[in-house]
Structure 1
């Protein structure tokens, strides 16, 4: 059992859960049952990481990092429910398979899906995984990750088809285009002959929560059809993001 972690959680619990404001380390130490030096050391770590702050009256309070984590978790828990209506609108207007994905490690997980009524359609299942760099929803999310995150997963890059972007020299420019144009494309990079269009979803803090996208055989995803579908996918993602509190304008596709 990690005693340092337990101390940190105790301090955090008292700071955020106490009905009385705490202004001194001595008060806090008494409430958590730790020595002054232990309390001070733990408190400084929590302040440095943004989990504890001081208000305008010098009371110790929960920091912005706590709010960010809570908002992020609540949005994840609600994402499938919130996205459902917009996904059904997109499914009806396009007649294609719709995926709602979140990032887990260097994979995307399909947390929801609406199947296309077409006889030939993209195969996947709710709870299924795909390499994020090889599918549209994954690329839409990866485009907003740090370069250090990409580098930390570089060893996982591998070819699935001839079209897979299996090295950072080719993946980085594709992700930069995704940010610039507001959507990601998959041109048979995970499964031969299957492509996709996807747009990221953001919460009220501007954090990326996942992505929504269309998957279809490349025979149907012609350049002309992609131009037709991109605004609809953007509109779907924008509707979901707005329900999560995101207030920025939806990104419009470039001509």
Structure 2
């Protein structure tokens, strides 16, 4: 079987360890001066692509990000983790904030038609919006088979890949003809840490760049955020001494 070319989508998000705060105007979350990083699910997808290359099943791993210039940092991280190439679809900060899954899916579809990968790997969702839509929309736009929530990926002969995916009732195994779109679940693998030499080398590598216009995609964001608010503060609890007291409180609250 010929080695595969793999395209991996990576997204820049606020670091998972940061407590997210809503801006004073309520229009967005506070992102200035906040640590950002590679979306954890995208990191799992990238790790799987690198492992495929290390096993000889893939010959090239292309990491792609859509967003403002700050996404170059995310792509450098992807190179340090093992990607062979990195490409940024440059979008201004204001336009990037308005991008939704349909817009990103259309840009990735245009890139897939230009780069002609055998496999597209994405994280199943991003931890900032939790949409879980881009991979499915991309597969529909390309008319390619899709395997979502992948927990195991095994390339097969005759241009196919076997995917084990997690579903509500357990696990499901699919055999997909290539090219195909896969989205990575948590149990697919455990991403590696970037070594210092790899980080230093990644800083010197050239980043490719394109624009939506160059890809022939006109962005038409259809989603507008009206307002954001932090969850209300939790009310303090009260200790009850007996079960009858508890039942009385539940009845008073209409829970029984």
TM-score computed with the length of structure 1 as normaliser: 0.28
Query: Which protein has the bigger strand share?
Result: 2
Higher relative contact order (CA 8 A, sep 6+): 2
Structure richer in helix, relative to its length:
1
Instruction: Output the TM-score relative to the length of structure 2.
Output: 0.28
